[in-house]
Structures are given as C-alpha cells and as structure tokens.
Amino acid sequence: MDTSGADTTGTGDLPRAVRLAWGLTEPGSRGPRRGLSLEKILDTAIEVADAEGAASLSMARLAKELGFTTMSLYRYVKSKDELIELITDRVVGPAPHIEPDTPWRDALAQWATSEYQALMRHRWWLQLSLGGVPPTGPNNIAWLEAGLGCLADTPLPPPLRFQIVLNTSLYVIGRARFAADFEAASATVSPEYAAALDYSVLLPQLLDPAKFPHLTAAVADGAFDADPDVDWDDADFTFALALLLDGVEKLIDAHR
C-alpha cells in the first residue's frame, strides 16, 4: 500500500479527511511512526476531551498528551478542523444492531435512543459547531444505513425514508444539546437559586390569571411539579420521540 499520502484509488477529488476516515489514503510516512498513528491520535483526543471538555482540543495539548511534538501530529492530521471532523465520526461509534424482524416503530425508536446515548457519552461533542458539511465518515454512514433499514418494510418511497431518518436524528441531536447544556448550567447554580427558579414556586408569584389564563391553569394542574421518582430527561425524550413517531405512522398509513 502506498503510504505517501498520494491518492491511488481514483478518489483524489474527495476531501482528505473523508479519504482518511474511509482508509482510502494514509498519512505521510515521514516522521515518527513508533507509538504514533492516526487511530492513536484520535482516541487520545477523545480521552482528553472527555476529561477536559471541547475547549481542550488543540494540537499542542494533544501533542503534549501523546509525548510528541506538535509538528509530528501534523504529519497525520493537517489541522484542528480535520481532527474534529475525524473525531466526529469516531465519537458516534458503530451503528446499533437492530434485529431485521423488528417492527419499524420499535426499530426507529431503538435507533434514535442509541444515537442519544452515544452522544451523551461524549457531551463535549455537542458543544462543537455542526458546520455546513454533512457527516461523511464510515460510522455516520453506517448509522444512516441502519436508520433507513428501520423503514425498509414500509410503503414509504426512499426519499421520504431519508427525510424521516434525517429529522429523527436532528431531534436527537437537539434534545441531547439541550440536556447537556441544562446539566452544565445547573451544575453552576446554587441549590437555593435553583429552588427560587422552580416554576411551580416562581410562576404563582408572577402570573396574573387574567393575562396568563392558560399558564396559570397549567401551574394549578401540577404541570411543573417535580416527581423525584421520574427521570424527566429520559421521560421528555421518550415523550417527544413518540410524538414524532406518531406522525411517521400517519404518513405510512397514508401511503398504504
């Protein structure tokens, strides 16, 4: 195999990060090889970010962790942007295995829940900009394939299946971002201040029933009362996902 970094597969028009992710090219062979590889760099970057957050992802910090010079890393990863693009595919990990005979609704719910859990294992990733480029790494493409497979036995045409999978994933990412941000913010708020911001306590002191009749009724009916036995993050995720799947079910019925 040519390890010079030159394209030998006819894929030279693809971005370098894409070719690296798919093993269609390799970093240049010059420079230190023993103890250093693209996989080692990416795994170490994820470990550093898991421990110190997304802000720690610099080539200098990574080089220090690995015990090599920053220039050594540039022989494998050309820039921080390329590093993050490669990490994005590695963070999400392999696509979930869903039994082929699983009904579409259960299958898509499993797929969405697996994506949510994968993202929440590396919450720093949720702080990164999604950018304008769709994920193209092998893991992300495998997730897309698995999601489309959930709808394979439905009468929906392939373009609609793709739209459903895409929007399901966007819901998962949005929900994960909210949960991670809320948890991070809550960690910096004192228990006394958090209690003061409890809607069930705060809103009755502020609301004029004449101006806010619907919100006043919601408070009176216990809409904001906390149940210590309920994991509201999981409950809210499941509730909204079920609403999304209800809409998909109506769309499927319309195509029968």
What CATH code is carried by the domain that includes residue 57?
1.10.10.60
Last residue of a domain, one of 69, 92, 115: 92
Q: Are residues 170 and 235 in the same domain?
A: yes
Q: Are residues 33 and 132 in the same domain?
A: no
Report the pLDDT value the prediction gives residue 30, as an integer from 0 to 100.
Answer: 54
In a domain, 207, yes or no: no
Q: Are residues 64 and 176 in the same domain?
A: no
Q: Are residues 149 and 34 in the same domain?
A: no
Of 123, 125, 106, 148, residue with least CA distance to 238? 106
- pLDDT tens-digit profile of 53-100? 999 999 999 999 999 999 999 999 999 989 998 998 999 999 999 998
Of 245, 229, 232, 234, residue with least CA distance to 113? 234
DSSP state of 10: S
In a domain, 70, yes or no: yes
Report the pLDDT value the prediction gives residue 135, as an integer from 0 to 100.
Answer: 81
In a domain, 216, yes or no: no
Range of the domain at 170: 104-188+226-254
Q: Which residues of the chain have pLDDT under 70?
A: 1-12, 28-34, 130-133, 189, 192-197, 227-233
Report the pLDDT value the prediction gives residue 183, as an integer from 0 to 100.
Answer: 80
Q: Are residues 230 and 138 in the same domain?
A: yes
State how far the alpha carbon of 223 is from the alpha carbons of 80, 226, 242, 244, in Å: 45, 9, 19, 21
In a domain, 211, yes or no: no
Report the pLDDT value the prediction gives residue 147, as an integer from 0 to 100.
Answer: 98
Report the pLDDT value the prediction gives residue 140, as an integer from 0 to 100.
Answer: 94
Q: Provide the number of structural domains found in the chain.
A: 2
In a domain, 221, yes or no: no
**CA–CA separation, 230 vs 178, rounded Å?**
18
Q: Are residues 80 and 113 in the same domain?
A: no
In a domain, 165, yes or no: yes
Q: Which ranges of 75-196 does DSSP label H, i.e. alpha helix? A: 80-92, 104-120, 138-150, 158-187, 191-196
We report the CATH number of the domain holding residue 143 as 1.10.357.10
Last residue of a domain, one of 41, 66, 92: 92
Of 94, 81, 169, 177, residue with least CA distance to 133? 81
